Amino acid sequence: MTAPTIVALSGGVDSAVAAWLLVRAGLEVEALHMTNWDEDEDGYCTAADDWQSARAVADAIGIPIHRVSFAEQYRERVFADFLAGYAAGVTPNPDILCNREVKFGACLDYVDRLGGGHLATGHYARIVHHPSGPRLQRAVDKNKDQSYFLQQMPRSALNRALFPLGELPKPEVRRLAREARLPVAERPDSTGICFIGERPFKEFLSRYLPPNPGPILTPDGEEIGRHDGLMFHTVGQRGGLRVGGLKNHSDLPWYVAAKDAERNALIVVQGKDHPLLHTREFSTEPMIWMIDPPDHSFLAEVQIRHRQTAVAAQIDWSAEGARITLREPLRAVARGQYAAVYRGDECLGGAVIR
């Protein structure tokens, strides 16, 4: 008896179409809905609506649906790291950690408990099979490509992951949802932090980390304002600084150039193209490879944000981490961000920027 394919059904249009495509292809399919954030004091959590939408999709397609909560795993493996990063003045990316620890960690383990084989999701990415094993590649729709968020998923999970939307542009996914009369065909795409959703970020973060005011300084050490806490700002940010119209300074807007945790100081500069906002070299924590590790020095492309154009770079790596030298400077590189390494459309792996 063939093990069923389990689809992570979120309640959104992407996972719904992924499930429908697999059913249409003749596979035995079951759905699994994850509820991983159990706080709703402020009314921003959409977990209840998501569950009802997922149930409606499963009913429309005619597949059984299971429900599970990984709230404890999410808090321990993702959210705790998220808070520790902001408390230390870095810029974490919980979506990447969530894919590694929850969607292709705890969830894949639960698929085994259900007797499932493959785990399918609505990610826009592709898996291409080579003699040496499966490879993670960008989606056909480069505007929606989510391979950057999958750079840390366990390599072993590539053998069991399915991304049915990898070959499709987003407008086609919407069209298929309407054609199949899926009840979420017109539901807006979800945004915000993985599982937590879209909400006022400063207000949300303040519930877990106390304000820690400090000075806003120019590179020369001049104090031109005060901030409420380093965690509320990121490198390259313009808004929310509440500085401007200062004597002996131009009218150019101010941008965050660095966060000095030792002095609890925010370092700011004027002008979008100020040299201190651009980086040619940076180091990383140990690399997580999606392939057999390449030579210790090689040429590739590096991407530090979703939807950002990858930049050619030399990668010099060891077990302790990597040194990345960019052919062209990147703007607003920040500690705690993830650097994904690509060769063409193939994601080779990635690491946290140190």
pLDDT given for residue 40 in this prediction: 57
pLDDT given for residue 167 in this prediction: 98
Specify the fold of 212-272: SH3 type barrels. (2.30.30)
With a cut of 80, say whether residue 192 has pLDDT above it: no
CA-nearest of 180, 223, 226, 228 to 206 is: 228
Tokens representing residue 76 in the block: 């321990």
Averaged pLDDT, 35-62: 82
With a cut of 90, say whether residue 169 has pLDDT above it: yes
Tokens representing residue 227 in the block: 């901030």
End-to-end CA distance of the chain: 48
Averaged pLDDT, 34-48: 70
pLDDT given for residue 176 in this prediction: 98
With a cut of 90, say whether residue 44 has pLDDT above it: no
Q: How confident is the model at residue 247 (pLDDT cuts 50, 70, 90)?
A: confident
8-state DSSP, 106: I
Averaged pLDDT, 155-175: 97
Q: Where are the domains of the chain?
A: 5-201, 212-272, 278-352
- Comparing 307 with 178, the larger pLDDT belongs to 178
* Residues in CB range of 141: below 8 A, 6 or more apart: 124, 168, 169, 170
CATH topology match: 212-272 vs 278-352: no
8-state DSSP, 349: E
Tokens representing residue 326 in the block: 């960019």
Residue 184 to residues 14, 28, 33, 173, 193: CA-CA distances in angstroms? 9, 22, 15, 12, 21
CATH class of 278-352: mainly beta
CA-nearest of 71, 4, 52, 50 to 31 is: 4
> Which sequence positions are flagged as catalytic?
98, 194
Percentage of the residues of the chain whose pLDDT score is greater than 90: 84
User: How high is the mean pLDDT of the chain?
Assistant: 93
Burial 190-213 (b: 16+ CB within 10 A, else e): beebbbbbeeeeeeebeeeeeeee
Tell me whether strands 321-331 and 278-283 are parallel, antiparallel or unpaired.
Answer: antiparallel
pLDDT given for residue 231 in this prediction: 92
Tell me whether strands 311-318 and 321-331 are parallel, antiparallel or unpaired.
Answer: antiparallel
CATH of domain 5-201: 3.40.50.620
Q: How confident is the model at residue 138 (pLDDT cuts 50, 70, 90)?
A: very high
Percentage of the residues of the chain whose pLDDT score is greater than 70: 95
pLDDT given for residue 198 in this prediction: 62
pLDDT given for residue 197 in this prediction: 60
Give the residues across from 340 on adjacent strands: 303, 350
pLDDT tens digit sequence for 195-241: 566 667 888 888 899 989 999 999 999 999 999 999 999 999 998 89
